[in-house]
Amino acid sequence: MRRASLPLWLVPLTIGCTLLVAAHLAWWLSIRGGYIEACNPYWHGCTSISRAARHGLGNYLFRLLMLPNALLLAIHWWLCRHWLRGTGGERDAAGARLLAIGLVSAHALAVYVAFLGTQGHVYAFMRSYGVVLYFGFGYLAQLVFVYLAGKRGRLPPGMTLAMKALCGLMLALGLFKLGCDLLVDDEQAKDRIADAVEWQLGLLLAGWYLLQAWAWRGERVLLEFAGRD
């Protein structure tokens, strides 16, 4: 019986890179196909991620990349629970809650991707349900992970601070959008702000996984598999 190993940091690295590549590839293909206007979505809010990935080849490639990524995201949060617990076999209620939150985020991403590009009120609701829960529970899982990792001393203080800073920026963006919803009367301006914030949140969310990959790479933690000769 031989054993194969995989560096653990490749899991969050793949998640973060896939999130970035899928969104920007769909955006570029939709511009080339004439489905959306060419502009900087991070600043001008000219299109949402959903609209950029809703039509043509961009939709197919977005789904092709993101559906497996949703499964990988679920695996990632399972790995996070066990990494936080360390080598001990004791029960870990906080880790179990982290896993549950992460699984909701992964499930919501799968629902969102599955219904992206479909028509009808039910399908629109499922897309909205998916994207809101994916962002909301994904952020919450990242926040819980940082809290538990810092509390248990599993990450260097500098890395914990960097991860907290990203979470703080995401919270600030969410509060900014909420304030705009309450104070801005122009519906078109609201839509542009919401679209720009969605891109910015997506960038920070993906950046958090890349930061986690960096942290795990420094630890040189390996995921081992049993195999046959």
Q: Predicted confidence band at 222 (pLDDT cuts at 50, 70, 90)?
A: low
Closest CA to 202 of 173, 175, 224: 173
What is the reported pLDDT for 86? 66
Give residue for tokens 């081992």.
Answer: 224
Assigned domain for 228 exists? no
State the average pLDDT for the chain: 88
Contacts with 198 (C-beta within 8 Å, 6 or more apart), sequence order: 48, 49
* Residue 34, domain member (yes or no): yes
pTM for this model (two decimals): 0.90
pLDDT band at 61 (very low <50, low <70, confident <90, very high): very high
CA quadruple 126, 131, 132, 133: dihedral sign: positive
> What is the tens place of the pLDDT at every residue in 25-51?
999 999 999 999 888 999 988 898 988
Which residue range(s) make up the domain with 79? Answer: 2-220
Convert the pLDDT of each residue in 103-130 to its tens digit.
Answer: 999 999 999 998 887 777 766 777 778 8
In a domain, 227, yes or no: no
Number of domains present in the structure of the chain: 1
Residue 157 lies in a domain: yes
Longest dimension (CA), the chain: 67
Give yes or no for residue 1 having a pLDDT over 50.
no
Convert the pLDDT of each residue in 171-207 to its tens digit.
999 999 889 888 888 888 888 998 999 999 999 999 9
Task: With respect to residue 99, please indicate whether it lies within any of the assigned structural domains.
Answer: yes
Higher pLDDT, 15 or 221: 15
